[in-house]
Amino acid sequence: MVSLGKLSKTLLFTLLVPGVIAVVIPQVLAKWRPRPALPINRSMARTLGWGSIALGSILYAHTAWEFVKGDGTPSPTDEPDALVTEGVYAYSRNPMYVAVLLVIAGQALLRRSVSALWWAAGMWIGFHNRVMGYEEPHLQEKHGETYETYCEEVPRWVRIRRR
C-alpha cells in the first residue's frame, strides 16, 4: 500500500526542486533575456515545446510513482530502500533527470528562448556530474552486486536502439 506521507513528500519535493529547476527558472530566463530568439517558427516551437513538456511531465510522474511504490520519495534524503528497476528504470538508470531535461527543453522551445536552452545544457552537465560523482558511488555502496548487474543491463541515460 502506498503511504500518503510519502506521496505528500513527493508532491512537495516535486514543486520545490524539479518545479523550480524545470519551470520557474526557464520562465525567468526567457523573460529576462528574450533575445535572441531560437530560429524556429512559433507554431513549430509551440508544438514541439508542449510535446516535450507533456512527455517530460508524464515521465517524471511515472518515475516519482516508482519511488513512492518503493516506500521512498525522489528526495535524496528519503530514497527507497530497494533499488528501483521497474517501469522506465528498466530502460534508463536516470529517467527522472531525462524527464526534467525534457521539460526544460520544452520551456525553451515554447518561449523560443536561447537562455533557457543554455539552462538545459548546463543542467544536463550538472545532472551528469551528480550522477557520476555522488549517485553511482552511493548506489554501488548501498546495493553492491545488484547495482553492478543493473548498470551492465541498463544505460545511464537512454538507449536509442536495442543491442
Ramachandran category for residue 144: left, alpha or beta (phi over 0 → left; psi -120 to 50 → alpha): left
Q: How confident is the model at residue 162 (pLDDT cuts 50, 70, 90)?
A: low
Q: What is the pLDDT of residue 157?
A: 94
Q: What is the pLDDT of residue 161?
A: 62
Q: What is the mean pLDDT of residues 140-162?
A: 90
Examine the pLDDT at 83 and tell me if it is beyond 80. Answer: yes
Q: How confident is the model at residue 2 (pLDDT cuts 50, 70, 90)?
A: confident
Examine the pLDDT at 134 and tell me if it is beyond 60. Answer: yes
Q: What is the mean pLDDT of residues 66-94?
A: 93
Examine the pLDDT at 163 and tell me if it is beyond 60. Answer: no
Q: What is the pLDDT of residue 148?
A: 97
Task: With CA atoms as reference, report the closest residue to 109 among 20, 161, 160, 37.
Answer: 37
pTM comes to 0.93
The Cα–Cα gap between 154 and 37 comes to 37
Q: What is the pLDDT of residue 98?
A: 98
Q: What is the pLDDT of residue 68?
A: 94
Q: What is the pLDDT of residue 120?
A: 97
Residue-wise DSSP of 75-114: STTS--SSPP-SGGGGT-S-HHHHHHHHHHHHHHHHHTBH
Grouping H, G, I as helix, E, B as strand and the rest as coil, residue 60 is helix
Give the position of cell 552537465: 125
Those residues whose C-beta lies under 8 Å from the C-beta of residue 136, and which sit 6 or more positions away, are 151
Note the pLDDT tens digit of each residue in 88-121: 999 999 999 999 999 999 999 999 999 999 999 9
Q: How confident is the model at residue 3 (pLDDT cuts 50, 70, 90)?
A: confident
